[in-house]
Amino acid sequence: MKKLYEQLPGRICTWYAQNRRELPWRGTRDPYLVWVSEIMLQQTRVEAVKPYYTRFTEELPDVEALAACPEDRLLKLWEGLGYYSRVRHMQEAARLLVQEQAPEGKAALPDDPAALRRLPGIGSYTAGAIASIAYQIRVPAVDGNVLRILARLQADERDVRKASVKHEAESRLQEALQSCSAPGDFNQGMMDLGAGVCLPKVQPLCEACPLADLCEAHRQEKETSFPVRSKAKDRRIEQRTILLIRDGDRVVLTRRPAKGLLAGLYEFPNLPGFKSRQEVLQTAEAMDLQPLYIRELDRAKHLFSHVEWQMCGYEIRIAGFTSAGTRAAAPWFLAEIEQMEKEYPIPSAYKAYAKYLQ
Ligand code: SF4
C-alpha cells in the first residue's frame, strides 16, 4: 500500500506539468487569491466560478478590502454562488487578520496549516490548498475529488463519507509529500485529474490517466463501483408561496433574519405552504396594499443541501398603500427594480420569479 502513495507525487507532478488547466487563479501564489478561488470552487463548477472570481477580486483585491466591505455589497458580489455563510466566514476571518496584524503592516493569511484552520470557514482542505499553493508547504488538500481517486486506486470498499477514511488519506498523503518539491502542483494536479480524467459518476478516462497501471478498480474494470458512498439523508420539503408584488417599476422586498438559511439576504415576501388566490389577496390587504390585479405564476423548485423548496407564485399589481402611516413600520419596502438588480442580494432560489420582473 505504501508503495502506491509513494509514487503519487512524482506521477501527478509530471502529469500536471503537461496537462494543467489554465485558470484565472492559476499562476498566482497570493494566498488571498488562492483562498477566494478555493472557497468559490467548493460550491460551483470551474466555468461558473471564473466571472465571479474576476469580479470579486477586482473589487476586493486583498484581506483589508474584504474586511472593510459593507455587508450588502459583499452578499451582492456573492449572489448566485449560494452558501452565503461561506463569504460571511471569509469576511469574519479577514477582520480577525486585520485586527491582529494591521498595526504591524498589511494583513496576510498565515502559512501554517494549523493556524489557517483556526480561522472561520477554513477546514483541512482549504488550509492545505492555501498552504501548499501559496507557500509550498508539504501538506495535502483532500476533498471529494481526491477521495474518489484514492478509493478507485485501492478499490476501497469503505464508505468514503466516513471521517476516518478522510483522515487516513490525509495522513498517508502527508507522509508521501515529505519528499515532494512542489506540493502545490501535486494538490492542483489531483484536482485537475479528478475534474478531467477520473470523473465522478461516469466512466473515467482511464486511458489518459497517469495512474492507470497502479489502479485496482481499473484492473478489475470496476471503476464506477468506487467510491462507495452511504446514502445521503433525504432533503426536507418546504412549500412556499412567493408574492411578486409590484407597483409600476417597483417591487416589494423583505429582508431575511440575520441567522439561519440565507441569513440577511433580501427576498420577495412569501408564505408557508401553497396558498389560494383568495388567501394571497387577503395577505396583500393585511400588508396595507391595494391589489388591482393578480395572476398565478409557474411553479418552481430550488434545492439547498438539506432542504428542497417547492414554490408557487403570484404576481400582484398594486395601486399603492391604503394608509401612509403603517408603511414606515412595515417589515417590507418597495425597491426600484433596477436598484434591486444592482444593489440587493437576492438568493438564486428566487430566480424563477425574479425573471417576471424583466
Ligand atoms: S485509472 Fe481510471 S479509475 Fe483509476 S485513478 Fe485513473 S482515471 Fe481513476
User: Which residues neighbour 212 within 8 Å (Cβ) at sequence distance 6 or greater?
Assistant: 206, 218
Nearest CA to ligand 1 atom 1: 212
Same domain, 174 and 288: no
Calculate how far, in angstroms, residue 218's C-alpha sits from the geometric centre of ligand 1. Answer: 6
Integer Cα distance of 198 and 180 in angstroms? 22
Nearest alpha-carbon partner for 244 in 310, 293, 300, 317: 317
Q: Which one from 6, 22, 38, 338 is the annotated catalytic residue?
A: 38
Q: Give pTM, 2 decimals.
A: 0.83
Could you identify the atom of ligand 1 that is nearest to the CA of residue 215? 4
Inter-helix orientation angle 84-101/71-78, to 10°: 130
**Ligand 1 atom 3: residue of nearest CA:** 223
Task: Average pLDDT across each block of 10 residues of the chain; the chain has 358 residues. List them in order.
Answer: 86 97 92 97 89 96 96 94 92 95 81 96 97 98 97 97 96 96 97 96 97 98 95 91 92 91 93 94 88 94 93 91 51 90 93 92
Sole residue written with cell 485537475: 192
Please identify, by atom number, the ligand 1 atom nearest to the C-alpha of residue 212. 1
Q: Is 227 in the pocket of ligand 1 (CB under 6 A)?
A: no
Boundary of a domain, candidates 225, 257, 290: 225
pLDDT at 330: 63
Q: Give the CA-trace dihedral at 103, 106, 112, 118, to 10 degrees.
A: 60
Q: Are residues 101 and 190 in the same domain?
A: yes
- 103 and 12 together in one domain: yes
Same-domain status, 90 and 201: yes
Atom 2 of ligand 1, nearest CA residue: 206
Distance 38 CA to ligand 1 centre (A): 24
- Ligand 1 binding pocket includes 199 (Cβ within 6 Å): no
Kindly report the three-state secondary structure assignment for every residue of the chain.
CHHHHHHHHHHHHHHHHHHCCCCCCCCCCCHHHHHHHHHHHCCCCHHHHHHHHHHHHHHCCCHHHHHHCCHHHHHHHHCCCCCHHHHHHHHHHHHHHHHHHHHHCCCCCCCCHHHHHCCCCCCHHHHHHHHHHHHCCCCCCCCHHHHHHHHHHHCCCCECCCHHHHHHHHHHHHHHHHHCCCHHHHHHHHHHHHHHCCCCCCCCCHHHCCCHHHCHHHHCCCHHHCCECCCCCCCEEEEEEEEEEEECCEEEEEECCCCCCCCCCEECCEEECCCCHHHHHHHHHHCCEEEEEEEEEEEEEEECCCEEEEEEEEEEEEEEECCHHHCCCCCEEEEEHHHHHHHCCCCHHHHHHHHHHC
Instruction: Tell me, yes or no, whether 230 lies in a domain.
Output: no
Kindly give the number of the ligand 1 atom that is closest to the alpha carbon of 206: 2
Of 332, 254, 322, 247, nearest in space to 290 by CA: 322
Q: Measure 155 CA to ligand 1 centroid, in angstroms.
A: 10
CATH number of 192's domain = 1.10.340.30
How far apart, in Å, are the Cα atoms of 233 and each of 35, 157, 261, 305? Answer: 30, 20, 18, 10
Q: Please answer whether residues 200 and 193 qualify as being in contact, where contact means their C-beta atoms are separated by less than 8 angstroms.
A: no
Q: Is the CB of 198 under 6 A from ligand 1?
A: yes
Q: Residues 38, 130: one domain?
A: yes
Q: With a 6 A CB cut-off, is 40 part of the ligand 1 pocket? A: no
Same domain, 190 and 249: no
Residue 342 main-chain phi, psi, to 5 deg = -85, -35
Beta bridge pairs of residue 245:
316
Predicted confidence at residue 273, as pLDDT, reads 96
Ligand 1 lined by 211 (C-beta under 6 Å):
yes
Mean pLDDT of the chain: 92
Counting from 1 in the atom list of ligand 1, the atom nearest the Cα of 223 is 3
Residue 21 lies in a domain: yes
Q: Is the CB of 149 under 6 A from ligand 1?
A: yes
**Which residue, 353, 266, 351, 343, is CA-closest to 316?**
353
Nearest residue CA, atom 4 of ligand 1?
215
185 lines ligand 1 (CB under 6 A): no
Instruction: Say yes or no: 35 and 172 in one domain.
Output: yes
- Residue 325: its pLDDT value, please? 41
CB 60 within 8 A of CB 77: yes
| 18/44 same-domain check | yes
Full residue range of the structural domain in which residue 206 is found: 2-225
Claim to verify: residue 344 and residue 252 sit in the same structural domain: yes
Read off the pLDDT of residues 297-341 as tens digits, 9 standing for 90 and up.
999 999 998 899 999 999 999 986 655 444 445 688 889 999 999
Residue with CA nearest ligand 1 atom 8? 198
Ligand 1 contacts CB of residue 66 (under 6 A): no
Ligand 1 atom closest to the CA of 197, numbered from 1:
7
Pocket test for ligand 1, best of 11, 152, 213 (most atoms within 8 A of CB): 152
pLDDT for the residue numbered 321: 63
Q: How many CB atoms lie within 10 A of CB 46?
A: 18
List the CATH number of the domain containing 343: 3.90.79.10
| Residues 152, 273 share a domain | no
- Catalytic status, residue 38: yes
Binding site membership of 209 for ligand 1 (Cβ less than 6 Å): yes
Same domain, yes or no: 209 and 240: no
